[in-house]
Structure 1
Amino acid sequence: MYQNTLEYAQQCDAQDPLKHFRAQFYFPKDDQGNPLIYLCGNSLGLQPKKTSQFIQEELDDWAKLGVEGHTEAKHPWLPYHEFLTQSMANIVGAKPSEVVIMNGLTANLHLMMVSFYQPTAKRNKIIIESDAFPSDKYAVESQIKFHGYDPKESLILWKPKKGEELCRYEDLEAIMNEQGDEVALIMIGTTNYYSGQSFDIKKITQLGHHHGAIVGFDLAHGAGNILPNLHENGPDFAVWCSYKYLNSGPGSLGGVFVHERHANNPNLNRFAGWWGHNKQTRFNMRHEFDVLPGAEGWQLSNPPILSMAAIRASLSIFEEAGMDNLREKAIKLTGYLEFLLDEMKDDRIQVITPRNPEERGSQLSIQVKSANKELHTKLTKAGVVSDWREPDVIRVAPTALYNSFEDVFHFVERLKQVLN
């Protein structure tokens, strides 16, 4: 199907219905002004060219209107987060009422665990994948300690089998069959940051619910990359950031999904703030807390407009491109990358990400035997922006919105050069 030639890569790009989106992004350049091969959207997405325009509109309204911008700006600041909701819901496969953009990812994870991790003497354990992103592990451990339990007893790690890199569903199933009545929460990163393995949201959710556990997901490496179909697949909650595949800028806001079955549950514990209060009486400061229904009820503070303007810029591109189309291209791009790596026939190279496109996102994790970070440094000098993870893995993420088949071809050619 694929061919190992530059001409073939260029032909694929010529036939790509999404190719025009590439021109809507800024690419970093080398000292000679040549664009770098940017394959690091799994860490920080490129800047859309329209971002500065969207932010400048808010700066102009702030200059002209001052405080009146809350109601009189072109995009009024009071309801600003609502301008992002439908687009974000489309990306994660949710109803608009189930989604809100707010805070940072780990802050949102803590807010979700305040509500959905309710341990008892009998049921207090949390399951995460063994190589979860460190911040998730720190957050989960601290919540366990906060409730007076010991992470050594109450944290269960879902591990790959000895000698393997990937987690197997049957091992999670075995954990639940053995300890399910003690598990309060399953909290998994949908697409693992290290291996690139993407987990079956529906299957894990059904398993957790069957055993009476709450199920949540971290979509940091999934939002804007896979099709999580959160409403249909039914987890209780999910959290994500927006600066990776969603291209909203360094350290930008995160997102939250709360399934609609929890929308009007007044008995859920929560850490409350005034932006989660009834919009009609929010500014009458003497009312008792009157929580908004849906995900909006978990908001704490009025939103940072400049950051949200950058998110709105990126989401407008996603709306135009369509997640189904982006996912289709992502499968082709990673398939082509996998093919070219196989064509190298180099025993030092092993792709640890699953071969099945349904079990991965846009990232392939390339393990290089006996390598150290010096290899990644050479690759960087060769004009490739990728990501190194100890001890021996290069993470490469051809991103459907702005990467090309030619990018993939040239990356592999430069990898060959630095290896030789």
Structure 2
Amino acid sequence: MSHYKLGLDFAIEQDQNDVLASYRNQFHFPKDQQGNDCIYMTGNSLGLQPKRTQAYVNAVLEDWANLAVEGHFNGENPWLSYQEGMVESMAKIVGAKPIEVVVMNTLTANLHFLMASFYKPTKKRFKILIEADAFPSDKYAVESQLRHHGFDDKEGLILWKAPKNEELVNYQDLEMLLASQGNEIALILIGAVNYYTGQFYDLKRITELGHKHGCMVGFDCAHGAGNVALNLHESGADFASWCTYKYLNSGPGSMAACFVHERHAYNKNLNRLTGWWGHNKETRFKMRDEFEQLPGAAGWQLSNPPILSLAAIKASLEIFNEVGMDTLIKKSKHLTGYLEFLLKQLGDNTIKIITPNNPDERGCQLSIFIKNADKSLHDKFTEAGVISDWREPNVIRCAPAPLYNSYQDVYYLVERLKLILND
């Protein structure tokens, strides 16, 4: 921590030396009551809108207005192949090969479609393991999969829990769960970065452990994509999915993406729920052919994609292409470390950071447990021009997104929190 300093001068100096500083001006910030930019720390819920997004969306609207159905084949970016140029960019962000990635549907829908292929329960091996504090949608999804296959969702769900009086799970407990019940577990489905604690799991370690016990392994990367080095191909995971509206800044409820490891790319025996967009592109419009799946993740597509949503994703991916994940992660670690350094000055009696302090075990989010606080503290924080995220019972999640957050944002956030705590 010694390379951080107190005082505004340090924050100003860091911003002056920040190679990504210019990107801040490429995003729209919400304003406070005085008309100043808010301190926006909720890129982990909804990323800010890139200024270039409007032009990309307008271009699609123009083509629709001027070309109508011919927009599928004509115009600068024909809709039929609109997604194809984006796959490579998305694959780089999550550390995958282009054949392993496709942009489609929404996150939980993708998890269901992928589980149709990779959750293959038998009478003896039917259980699903998730982290105890998984994002609720993941828990609901796997419970419904258990019921769908005729199993009891209480008996079939195994929870990887943190030790008593601790927030973070550990791998020894996971190993013990698999040693005792591994032969009954069909699927492990874990959030790559836990939404509540911000803990970034070792995906490769979990995958190898799961495969050793004969389980399929998948990840919900909603809080990981665009935030941490997921290295999905190298992890060996069978599948993964993520939304694009958090760190990938593609707009509320925008499309999701998914990963299927290349070892499954040509496996026609995998059960899957199919639709015409997963069919061979060359013969897709002949309409009367038997289903002939596309290789790789693309073969899981069902419907033609919503181009207006893709346009916003395309705009954001262009920024990620320019910046690159390595540069982003380097700044992220330093910026989040600075937030941690300043928060620790507030003292253990006031706050506790429940996110791991090892920068390799977290992304940019810090989850701050405020002692003896309730939501009224968060309301005051919001009134002070800081947009953060409250999670019951008393945690504030702050995510300094390296693309658009500055060191001064972090400095002023902690100054305002100090004022509220001393009130």
Q: What TM-score, normalized to structure 2?
A: 0.99
Matches within 5 A, 1:118-267: 118-267=120-269
Aligned-pair identity in percent equals: 64
Q: Deviations over 1:50-104 (max 9, x none)?
A: 0000011111111111111101021110111112101000000000010000000
Q: Does 1:90 align with 2:81?
A: no
CA distance in structure 2 between the aligned counterparts of 1:242 and 1:235, rounded to whole angstroms: 20
* Matching residue of 1:389: 391
Correspondence for 1:42 among 41, 44, 49:
44
TM-superposition CA deviations, 1:98-119 (whole Å, max 9, x none): 0000000000000000000000
Q: Hey, what does 2:301 align to over in structure 1? A: 299
Over residues 263-306 of structure 1, what are the superposed CA-to-partner deviations in whole Å (9 max), with x where a residue is unaligned? 01111111100000010111111111111100000000001001
Q: Which amino acid aligns with 1:249?
A: G
Aligned partner of 2:417 in structure 1 is 415
Q: Distance in 1 between matches of 2:128 and 2:360?
A: 26
Does the residue aligned with 1:398 lie in a helix, a strand or coil? coil
Query: In structure 2, what residue type is equivalent to 1:92?
Result: V
Spell out the pairing of 1:49-60 with structure 2 (5 A cutoff): 49-60=51-62
Cα distance in 2 for residues equivalent to 1:149 and 1:333 = 46
Aligned position for 1:4: 6
The Cα shift of 1:252 comes to 0.1
Cα distance in structure 1, aligned partners of 2:240 and 2:164? 30
Which residue number corresponds to residue 337 of structure 1?
339
Deviation at 1:31, TM superposition (A): 2.1
Aligned residues: 420
1:27 corresponds in structure 2 to: 29
Structure 1 range deviating more: 73-82 or 39-48: 73-82
- Whether the aligned pair in 2 keeps the contact of 1:365 and 1:394 (CA below 8 Å) is yes
The answer on whether the counterparts of 1:80 and 1:303 sit within 8 Å (CA) in structure 2 is no
**Per-residue deviation, 1:346:** 4.7
Instruction: Supply the distance in 1 between the matched residues of 2:21 and 2:11 (Cα, whole angstroms).
Output: 12
Distance 1:346 1:417 in 2: 17
Matches of 1:276 and 1:39 in 2, distance apart? 38
In 2, Cα distance between equivalents of 1:187 and 1:17 = 37
Separation in 2, partners of 1:174, 1:13:
46
CA distance, structure 2, for counterparts of residue 336 and residue 79 of structure 1: 43
Q: Distance in 1 between matches of 2:348 and 2:414?
A: 12
Q: Which amino acid aligns with 1:300?
A: L
Contact 1:132 1:189 in 2 (8 A): yes
Aligned pair partner of 1:75 in 74, 77, 81: 77
- What residue in structure 1 maps to residue 359 of structure 2? 357
Amino acid across the alignment from 1:257? F
For the pair 1:268 / 2:270, whether they are aligned, the reply is: yes
C-alpha displacement at 1:379, in angstroms?
A: 0.1
Structure 1 unpaired stretches of 5+: none
Task: Indicate if the aligned counterparts of 1:350 and 1:368 stay in contact, CA closer than 8 A.
Answer: yes
